[in-house]
Amino acid sequence: MNKKRVLIVDDDPRNIFALSATLRARSYDCISCTSAEEALRILKSEENINAVLIDMMMPEMDGYEAIPLIKKIESRKGTPVISVTAQAMVGDREKCLLAGADDYISKPINVDKLLQVLSKIE
């Protein structure tokens, strides 16, 4: 069985470290970047990415702008994009889903919820 490969997109290296460590401990392969622009480049060039965890609040291009662009990449049509955000107010989940996210996880990350969401990927 191949490891699931997850792209983590977050402008805070501490969040990348925490998510990567959590997922690697559970046999996921992780790659990461600190901007949506870089994520788009990676997603156009890397084939083996099973899911994207993207921070919604980043400078320059945020997750709300990036998700529709990710979904337009032909080779990424079926790749789940999961929004990760500190925004946990009423309506924030719906806003993320309207932007095109396949699921939503709020910070601080609940590991069980994260693993439940990732268990759905192929």
**Contact criterion met (CB below 8 Å) for 81 and 73:** no
CATH code of residue 39: 3.40.50.2300
For 19, how many CA atoms within 13 A lie in the half-sphere containing its CB? 32
Question: In this predicted model, what pLDDT tens digit does every residue of 52-81 receive, in sequence order?
Answer: 999 999 999 999 999 999 999 999 989 999
User: Domain range spanning residue 48?
Assistant: 5-118
Give the whole-angstrom CA distance, residue 78 versus residue 10: 21
The strands making up 29-33's β-sheet, listed across from edge to edge, are 29-33, 5-9, 51-55, 81-85, 103-106
Please tell me the total count of domains within the chain: 1
What confidence tier does 40 reach under pLDDT thresholds 50, 70, 90? very high
**Mean pLDDT of the region 4-10:** 97
